[in-house]
Structure 1
Amino acid sequence: MARITYIEFGGKEHVIDVPDGATVMEGARDNGIQGIRADCGGACACSTCHVYVDPSWMDRLPPPGAMEEDMLDFAYEPDPARSRLTCQLRVSNALDGLVVQMPEMQS
């Protein structure tokens, strides 16, 4: 299990224990966190689970795949250095302490 901090656009923080094997998106959805819509349910077919990853975590995450990179083109104000889709981030103990921030809106 990993403890993940989700920060809404307005600054409200949610610290959630997310089980191993779930995605960062599922952790947000299952806990009613505002700002991650996840319209496609985790199929990497939209960009409504887009977040900005805390810079200190970028080197610790697996690189995005081609499909995620394509979908990020449709995200609201993507940051080439920090944007990720939470449906593509699988939780393990290695993500304990991860911090993500939601954009102002989802595309």
Structure 2
Amino acid sequence: MSVLLKAGHLHDRDLIDVFYNYENNETLELKSKRILTNNMHGTGCTLSSALSAFLARGYDLNEAVCKAKDYVNNAIVEGANYQIGKGHGPVKHFYDYWNILLSSK
């Protein structure tokens, strides 16, 4: 069984998620900087959905995990500064779509 360990609840500035791929006995370290924001709600569900989507698109396990991690990280960065209601908000799931829309105007 392959396993992805997330570092999001740790308190370091640099985060290292660890992915163990059972299929090839390989371990990947996925590094990122902590983004200071209240908009982190649903990151685990977003990550698992992105991973499933990349696998469904035919990426191998390592590629899918890396692409899913990049997607979630970008969604956090893009959604870091907006305010929706009170408390913890969601990441900006459709950041790429909005960037394409805004650049075409």
TM-score, length of structure 1 as denominator length: 0.24
Which structure would you say has the larger RCO, counting Cα contacts within 8 Å and 6 or more residues apart? 1
TM-score, length of structure 2 as denominator length: 0.24
Larger radius of gyration: 2
